[in-house]
Structure 1
């Protein structure tokens, strides 16, 4: 039986799927007379395909019932999609190379100070939060063309994530096929 462990979100571990967005290791510029720090170039927004434009949204996530069941994955063929949490609560990121191949799934525990920028065509699960009313700034593509593809899994291929909600770094977070 396949066990999908949830690993801490790191730049190296997430690189095949996109970018981790965080200020760790970034050099700030002091601005506003030294009363603010600015961190530039934290992610490469990819939305220009087929004349797309940048879209900035606010998502408010709701906790899914436990255990979390992965029944569907999605991807965006015309652009990247960036999520940045605003409430500093941990959250979960589930990605895969191919929704039909369970061994390609990866799950990451993101701190409330980490965002992700899913690369164009990266299969990922929709937003998975650990606290109700979790706000996220989302930067993605708007414009002509279909930029959403969903892949619904057959019930035998569903994945369950056991998560107690206490901490995204809790060692007991695991996922097992349905």
Structure 2
């Protein structure tokens, strides 16, 4: 089977909403704290864990380039998962809708400087893919007992060939 191509769109909160949250400052801070020296953009993502607790990890990911092959997606049924680039490296975010336990209708997004994401609990997604250069990412996700990973391997891969715009 030949690969199916998809084109990544620029990441926006509206387009990404069915899959998760875009974490980025928007407008003025909600609060000014620390004697007026810090603006707080409050509660930008909905963390959701079925059991266990929230943990903070640091991922060190190798660079990816376009075209980017997507032969597998995964999901985490017990918790949301947030990715925040430490180095400001953009990332390619591949997500899919769920249909009877299988990923369908893949979509790809390219993050912009200052953007992070939080994937909703149970959202099918591709692997961490920093674009153009390696990247370190703070990851907030579920820490706990039990299996929190499902993988789906496609019979024919998808290829993200370009970014719109």
CA distances 1:134-174 after superposition (whole Å, capped 9, x unpaired):
111110001111111111112xx2011235xxxxx664xxx
Match of 1:108 in 2: 109
Residue segments in structure 1 that go unaligned for 5+ positions in a row: 164-168, 172-178
Match of 2:41 in 1: 39
Match of 2:14 among 12, 15, 34: 12
Distance 1:68 1:2, change over 3 A: closer
CA contact (8 A) 2:29 2:39 kept: no
In the alignment of these two chains, the number of paired residues is: 160
Residue segments in structure 2 that go unaligned for 5+ positions in a row: none
Match of 1:161 in 2: 160
Partners of 2:67 and 2:8 lie apart in 1 by: 14
Runs of 4+ in 1 over 4 A off after TM superposition: none
Match of 1:142 in 2: 143
Aligned-pair CA distance for 1:26: 5.7
CA contact (8 A) 1:30 1:38 kept: yes
Distance 1:2 1:133, change over 3 A: closer
Partners of 2:70 and 2:116 lie apart in 1 by: 21
Aligned-pair CA distance for 1:43: 0.5
Secondary structure at 2:146 match in 1: coil
Partners of 2:141 and 2:113 lie apart in 1 by: 20
Match of 1:95 in 2: 95
Higher relative contact order (CA 8 A, sep 6+): 2
CA distances 1:89-136 after superposition (whole Å, capped 9, x unpaired):
2211100114553xx110111112111111111000010111433111
More helix as a share of residues: 1
CA RMSD of aligned residues (A): 2.0
Secondary structure at 1:13 match in 2: helix
Structure 2-normalised TM-score?
0.87
